[in-house]
Amino acid sequence: MHLIEEEYQAQLSSRFDAVLINEGGEEEIGGAGAAAAVALAGGRIVTSAPFGDAVQRIAGMASRPLLLVDARLVSEDELARSLSRLDGLAAGRDLPMVVAIASEQIDITAAGLMMSRHQILCDPAPSDWIGAIAAAQGVSDLTLHDRISENEAARLAKLNAEVARIADVLARLSKHEEAPRAALVAEAGLDFSSEPGGEHPITAADIRQIVRARRLRDRYVGPGLFEDPAWDMMLDLYAAHLERAHVSVSSLCIAAAVAPTTALRWIARLTEAGLFERRPDPFDRRRAFMSLTDRGLDAMRRYASMARALGLPVV
3 pLDDT higher than 60: no
170 pLDDT higher than 70: no
Can you spell out the DSSP letters for 34-101? HHHHHHHTT-EEEEEE-HHHHHHHHHT-SS-PEEEEE-TTS-HHHHHHHHHHHHHHHHHHT--EEEEE
User: How many CB atoms sit inside 10 A of residue 8's CB?
Assistant: 10
Asked if residues 94 and 66 have their Cβ atoms less than 8 Å apart, the reply is: no
214 pLDDT higher than 70: yes
Name the region of 310 (left: φ>0; alpha: ψ -120 to 50; beta: rest). alpha
For strand 276-281 and strand 284-292, is the pairing parallel, antiparallel, or unpaired?
Answer: antiparallel
pLDDT of residue 201: 73
pLDDT in tens, 112-152: 999 999 999 999 988 889 889 888 877 444 443 344 455 55
* Residues paired with residue 122 on neighbouring β-strands, in sequence order: 101
Strand order in the sheet with 276-281: 247-248, 284-292, 276-281
The domains located in the chain, with CATH, are 2-137 (3.40.50.2300), 147-309 (1.10.10.10)
pLDDT in tens, 280-312: 998 888 889 999 999 999 999 999 989 888 888
Can you spell out the DSSP letters for 244-309? T--EEHHHHHHHHTS-HHHHHHHHHHHHHTTSEEEEEETTEEEEEEEEE-HHHHHHHHHHHHHHHH
pLDDT in tens, 51-88: 888 888 888 888 889 999 999 999 998 898 889 999 99
CA–CA dist 118, 34 (Å, integer): 15
